[in-house]
Amino acid sequence: MHDADRAVSSLEAFRRWFAAYVETESSEIHRIPFTELKGWRFEEPHGNLVHESGKFFSVRGLRVRNAPGAVPEWDQPIIHQPEVGILGILVKEFDGVPHCLMQAKMEPGNHNRVQISPTVQATRSNYTRVHGGRPVPYLDFFRNVSRHQILADVLQSEQGSWFYRKRNRNIIVETRDDVELLDGFYWLSVGQLHALLSSPDLVNMDSRTVMACLPFASPSPSGRWAIDGAPAARRPVEGTSIGAALARSLDPGNGALHSTGSVRNWFTGARAGFTGEAHLMDLGSVRDWQRSDDRISHDHGVFFDVMAVDIQTGSREVSSWTQPMIEARGQGVAAFLVQRIGGVLHVLVRVGSEPGFVDAIELAPTVQCTPENYAVLPAEAVPPFLDEVLHAPADAVRFDTVLSEEGGRFFHTRSRYLIVELPSERELAEPDDFRWLAVHQLSSLVQHSNYLNIQARTLLTCLHSLLGPAGGDRT
């Protein structure tokens, strides 16, 4: 089947297609003890959990020292995956509207099994077929791009609390070629894709990070990029809705509270002054963690566990495998506080340090935490503005959806993503490690590596969804 046979359809048609696909997806995922892992072992004498091929990833220990905040040092397990994977979305125009080729993909960590993923979502070990399985569909569009237009191409981090220096290549490629539409893939307009973000656990983490790189603030020469049919950075400025304020904020000509130069100075200064240290160590030597038959857990039963699963599936490059995963204890919270400043929507971001980051610090949401963890942490560890977010009046909440984190490495791990608007008359002083940024500033920074963390990129994508109804939707 070719692309035109299933392009330019309604969201209702997509939902029917997706539900039918899920009905046919018969994967089974079961927790297993570590002794039932196949191809994995705890190497002696170090205790690291490694794959026999030396590829994929390993679980090692990390020692953190001199960290900022109320907890300056700790040990923990962490995923070490030094290879760079590809997260790619293929774009093609239908009836003048750009559409994204998305995949219904089973990941073993998804609590609902199947979610919407990018066209290509593959580690280097996967796309070089270390597992001996089937090739990754559509990979050639992202590895041989000379005949296509590159809309975005940037290395981005993943969770620095659970990955050690992990980055993926986030790439968006537009083609004019005819594209064979394979089973499990579907064309969605940019607006439709954003509209689906309000559905819990539907658009996966890898899709959200690539979507953050879509060219809203800098439209392509033909001005086609839109959420509701008008180029985002060129829409009229009248109106009092948050969408109107957001549209003004996407236009660099409408200014910002802080100049881009002062923002870079503030951010670079925070990086230059960072004195924390994080070093890989033997997993068997981490303090305050215990290994049992089926998990590695913190002594206080908080933070996360390392566990193992067995996967049986017919919808992936290989039909069965086992692997270790991280399972969070408690649901995360990630939130943007936003406010209209001079009629332009601004986002309150902070400099956030996570021990696995390549550059130690990236821009993070206003609030990013797992509230349950503070039961065993000092009171001063509770982040600023947490109460402001969790107890916001309903009429101030602009976005509120529970979304899954990366299902290839994290088991049933989810976060509540919120966007809360403060009244324009509310005066809120910026703490030293916080700044109000216009949305066009964030959209510019996300085109560069290691500026916005994965949670901030997800929230930026969710923020774009507030521009309007699904563009190009045929209902």
Question: Which pLDDT score is estimated for 216?
Answer: 73
Which one-letter amino acid corresponds to residue 183?
Answer: D
Question: Which pLDDT score is estimated for 217?
Answer: 53
47 closest CA partner among 241, 296, 238: 296
Residue 45 preceded by cis peptide, ω within 30: yes
Residues 6+ apart with CB under 8 A from 24: none
Question: Which pLDDT score is estimated for 204?
Answer: 98
User: What distance in Å separates the CA atoms of residue 192 and residue 188, rounded to the nearest whole number?
Assistant: 6
The 3-state DSSP class for residue 304 equals strand
The 3-state DSSP class for residue 46 equals coil
The structure tokens 């070719």 sit at 2
**Beta pairing partners, 155:** 169
> CA 65 from chain center: how many Å?
27
The 3-state DSSP class for residue 358 equals coil
User: What distance in Å separates the CA atoms of residue 178 and residue 180, rounded to the nearest whole number?
Assistant: 7
First-to-last C-alpha distance (Å) of the chain:
23
**Contact (Cβ atoms closer than 8 angstroms) between residue 295 and residue 305:** yes
The 3-state DSSP class for residue 160 equals coil
Question: Which pLDDT score is estimated for 226?
Answer: 57
Question: Which pLDDT score is estimated for 106?
Answer: 95
The 3-state DSSP class for residue 352 equals strand
User: What distance in Å separates the CA atoms of residue 460 and residue 352, rounded to the nearest whole number?
Assistant: 16
100 closest CA partner among 80, 86, 118: 118
**Contact (Cβ atoms closer than 8 angstroms) between residue 172 and residue 150:** yes
pLDDT tens track, the chain, 475 positions: 555 555 678 999 999 999 999 999 989 999 999 999 999 999 999 999 999 999 899 999 999 999 999 999 999 999 999 989 999 999 999 999 999 999 999 999 999 999 999 999 998 877 676 555 688 999 999 999 999 999 999 999 999 999 999 999 999 999 999 999 999 999 999 999 999 999 999 999 999 999 999 987 544 434 566 554 433 433 333 456 898 899 889 999 898 999 999 999 999 999 999 999 999 999 999 999 999 999 999 999 999 999 999 999 987 778 899 999 999 999 999 999 999 999 999 999 999 999 999 999 999 999 999 999 999 999 999 999 999 999 999 999 999 999 999 999 999 999 999 999 999 999 998 999 999 999 999 999 999 999 999 999 999 999 999 986 533 343 3
Q: Quickly count: other Cβ atoms within 10 Å of residue 288's Cβ.
A: 11
**What is the DSSP code (8-state) at residue 423?**
P
- Cα dihedral sign, 229-233-239-242: positive
Question: Which pLDDT score is estimated for 48?
Answer: 98
User: What distance in Å separates the CA atoms of residue 138 and residue 438, rounded to the nearest whole number?
Assistant: 36
Q: Phi and psi (nearest 5°) for 324?
A: -80, 155
The structure tokens 């689906």 sit at 196
Burial of 447 (0-12, 13-18, 19+ CB in 10 A): middle
User: What distance in Å separates the CA atoms of residue 202 and residue 21, rounded to the nearest whole number?
Assistant: 13
Range 29-41 burial, b when 16+ CB lie within 10 A, else e:
beebebeebeebe
